[in-house]
Chains A and B, each alone.
Chain A
Amino acid sequence: MRPVVVAGVGMIPFERRDEDSLMDMLATAGLNAMDDAGLGDRPVDSVYVGNMASGLFNHQVSVASALVDRLSLLPAAADRVENGPASGGSAIKNGFLAVASGFNDVVLVVGGEKMREVIGPKATDIVACMTHPEVEYIYGLTLPAMAGMFARLYMEKYGVTREHLAMVAIKNQTNGLLNPYAHIQMKITMEGILTHPQSHINSPVVADPIHLYDCCPVSDGAAAVLLTTEEIANKLKKPLVTIDGVGQATDTHTLQERSDPTDLKAVTLASEQAFKMAGIKPKDIDVAELHDAFTILEIAESEHAGFFPKGEGAKALERGETQIGGKLPINPSGGLKARGHPVGATGVAQVVELVWQLRGEAGERQVKGAANGFSLNFGGFGNNVLAFVLRRKS
């Protein structure tokens, strides 16, 4: 396999975007990545679009074909990649393979979702369509409810408290204030979301023990990366950041069939693969973007990915090690919690953030001297997980 460079990255701010269609968002993010790379009028060989549910949210399908038309990239190959909340990560993996294998030289990957076209409970229902139709969905199971059942066990087993969960929310929303692309631009305090007697008004129960401030918002947004070879990237203008490791693993559809439901096996396996391929270890990572769709997941993933032993993630958080300026900053972008989680966009947005960090272009939230980055995109409830290791080429 030949090295794959992320030559360009682009995003649009995640928020509620009533004025834009899904296609407007995908096209703008895609153009931003092409322009960031300085691609000019050079051809693109193929386009992958990560999107979970445009048919259900926006009554439009075949969005990859529509995108190449919008961007005048015809006759480029075009595919939509659907893998639940890991659609973005899967789209990047496909683009990576296309370049690494020599099949393509220039690939555009765009992830996007427009979720706010429907009302909140409808969005909850659409997202719940990834649960098992006969043994989960019929009971009204939601993704926050899966997180609730998982959190109850994880908290008991490892001594994670609601205060730890709130620390994740506060850290990520503090980081989000430094990210102009983040949906949630609001400072929160421990008092306001947890300790004040009236805090339940701000942060009501969604699916106990998961409260509102433990959940990512429902957002519209898109993000894009332009992948190419070293040879072509050297003719473009940006410092080289390469995708050195890719990992992906799956786990059972339902939580109840996991022998230990607190063990996120697919996170461990995907991360191990990505590190092995990159030839580096978790301790070599300078910055990580984890999939904190729920606060408990940032803690659990930081352990399963190998950054901390089981049960130590919450302690590292407590010591401030995962803040910007700490030993391993996690989610300097604000994560899904603050940046937002337009499902198909997330896996791509994580890689965009890493590229900004590794190039030293992350502005006020820059992790100083970051050279190695890691991202984890968590599909379903951990039944399909992708991990990436990115490195700045010295």
Chain B
Amino acid sequence: MKTITAYKCNKCGLVMYPYHDRCLNCKGRDFKEIAPTSKGKLLTYTVIEQLPWGMDERGRVLGVVEFDNGVKALGLIKDDAPRIGMKLKVNWEPVREMGGEEIFGLTFEKTK
């Protein structure tokens, strides 16, 4: 599955996403590219009723997920009853249309 690329500092081990040119902790410049694990838990979320221009939709749930390997990322939460701490599994799907083009990103659903 295609996914995001996160970065682990070779010097101090800090996991970062998105990319920084220097480590947020130790200023190191060498990183190992890592992929998030397939599962994680929901740290916080919101349900957006007023989306920006070009997005005709209501009740879009966005949340920050911490993957099992420490990567943290925002994504689209496909669940009507989200709660903090819930276990989620990740997918890579279209999240928005921009300029007639489908943009792919992280989506999450409840693990069984």
Binding site for B on A (CB under 8 A): 119-122, 124-125, 128, 132, 134-136, 138-142, 144-145, 148-150, 152-153, 156, 204-210, 252-257, 261
Contact = CB atoms under 8 A, between A and B. Distances in A.
B32 interface: no
B62 A139 contact: yes
A141 B62 contact: yes
14 contacts: A124-B50, A125-B53, A134-B18, A135-B73, A138-B95, A140-B55, A141-B62, A145-B48, A152-B45, A205-B47, A207-B49, A207-B50, A209-B46, A261-B43
Contacts of B64: 149, 255-256, 261
A254 B53 contact: no
Contacts of A142: 48, 50-52
A72 to B, nearest CB: 38
Given A209-B46, A254-B18, 15 more contacts: A124-B53, A125-B54, A138-B105, A139-B74, A141-B74, A148-B48, A149-B45, A205-B47, A207-B46, A207-B47, A207-B49, A208-B47, A208-B49, A252-B24, A256-B72
A254 B44 contact: no
Interface residues of B, number: 33
B75 interface: yes
A145 to B, nearest CB: 5
Q: Is the interface of B mostly helix, strand, loop or mixed?
A: strand
Contact of B52 (A134, A140, A150, A153): A140
Nearest to B54: A125
A255 B66 CA distance: 12
A210 B4 CA distance: 29
A139 B24 contact: no
B9 to A, nearest CB: 13
B51 A205 contact: no
B50 A121 contact: yes
Contact of A140 (B16, B18, B44, B96): B96
Interface of B: 4, 16-18, 24, 43-55, 60, 62-64, 72-76, 84, 95-96, 98, 103, 105
B62 to A, nearest CB: 5
Contacts of B43: 153, 256, 261
B46 A149 contact: yes
B76 to A, nearest CB: 6
A183 B101 CA distance: 39
B24 A257 contact: yes
A328 B84 CA distance: 35
Nearest to A208: B47
Contacts of A253: 18
Nearest to B46: A148
A286 B5 CA distance: 49
Contacts of B50: 120-121, 124, 142, 144, 206-207
Contacts of B24: 252, 257
Contacts of A121: 50-54
B74 A254 contact: yes
B18 A149 contact: no
B45 to A, nearest CB: 6
Contacts of B51: 121, 124, 140, 142
Contacts of B17: 135, 256-257
B46 A139 contact: no
A207 B59 CA distance: 9
Contacts of B45: 149, 152
A213 to B, nearest CB: 14
A134 B98 CA distance: 13
B103 to A, nearest CB: 5
B102 to A, nearest CB: 11
A254 B103 CA distance: 20
A44 B111 CA distance: 65
B54 to A, nearest CB: 7
A255 B62 CA distance: 13
A81 B64 CA distance: 32
A204 B75 CA distance: 24
